[in-house]
Amino acid sequence: MSGVVPGFVPRMLVDPAVGLFRADERVFTAMLDGWRAQMLARGLTTQTIKQRTQLLERFQQFTGEFPWQWRPADVDDFLAGLRSGKKPISLKTLRSYSNAVAMFCSYLTHPGYGWGEFCERTFGDIPSQICFEWNTPRHTTDDAVPAARRAFTKAELQRIFDHIDDLVDREYAAGTRRWLPLFRDSVAFKVCYAYGLRRREMTMLDLEDFGPNPHVSDYGRFGAIQVRFAKGTAGSGPRRRTVLTVPEFDWVVDQLRTWTSGGMRANFATADRSSAMWPSERGARMSLGSFGDAFAAARDAVGLPKELGCTASGIPT
């Protein structure tokens, strides 16, 4: 079993011939090492693994006890302390902390890893699950988004798009170079809305991410998008997904053709540095923050409430 399951009780702790000096500390360290191996085997990112193991070390220091001694009341006290005081942590952070403790306990209590048997033999007690529905935040989306957040209406989005397009026309007529980045932003925001992309997904698009849909030849090379930086599960890194161009938003095809084939994108001095869909004046790719600032400026200019940011479902993050 130890050669098959990542995170199984280390051989040095199973061997009865090896005496354990400061056994509780050494076993807890071995437990974290085993959990780390399990998370690596699951393909989680090293940053996520580091944050979770550090949180468990922090929880152990808070309780002053070890996993085979932990009880549900320890979670109550730990989370309650984090939500009180002058700077309480957010509900999202609270949920991630409780999830980490719950996952660590699930790892320890799984019979495939052998920790229960080992702890009973060594300490006369066994680890148990200490996180339950009644002492951890709800795992629903009901409270994940502030109540003030809502989707854009079609009229509100049209006001933003019209405003940016008017700016493009005004700057172009005045003979300034500002029309080009404004046109880029206009096309980018419309692509984001037409394909239902998150802001990061839109920012990381490359020219090669667009391709034909064999069932709709009229769209040419803009029949679908391969989204390479789609949101994945916690700690797993980005995932891929394909989004098709739909008839309701086929107007975006002409926008994309003008941007890529009409020489607009090529007018950026940095366009030849990479195949990034949205080059900037100074870099090969427009940054996430710059797009957010540009959208916020357009929203404020047309008098829409600040709650309708890039996290509202018209232009999602």
The whole-number pLDDT of residue 274 equals: 84
Q: What is the C-alpha to C-alpha distance for residues 164 and 172, in angstroms, rounded to an integer?
A: 12
What is the DSSP annotation of 265-298? GGGSTTGGG--BSS--SSSSS--HHHHHHHHHHH
Q: What are the tokens at 285?
A: 């790719």
The whole-number pLDDT of residue 20 equals: 63
Task: Check if CATH label 1.10.443.10 holds for domain 154-301.
Answer: yes
Cβ within 8 Å of residue 181, ≥6 positions away = 280, 281
Q: Specify which residues 243 forms β-bridges with.
A: 225
Q: Give, for 192, the enclosing helix (H) or strand (E).
A: helix 179-194
The whole-number pLDDT of residue 13 equals: 67
Q: What are the tokens at 302?
A: 């047309």
Q: What is the C-alpha to C-alpha distance for residues 3 and 10, in angstroms, rounded to an integer?
A: 10
Q: How far is CA 188 from CA 145, 197, 219, in A?
A: 25, 10, 18
**Percentage helix, strand, coil for the chain under 3-state DSSP, each rounded to 5:** 55, 5, 40
Could you report the average pLDDT of every consecutive run of 10 residues in the chain (317 residues)? 62 56 88 93 90 96 96 94 87 91 95 91 93 80 56 86 94 92 93 88 91 92 88 64 91 93 84 88 84 89 82 46
The whole-number pLDDT of residue 152 equals: 81
Question: pTM of the entire structure?
Answer: 0.60
The whole-number pLDDT of residue 313 equals: 43
Domain boundaries, given as residue ranges, for the chain: 11-135, 154-301
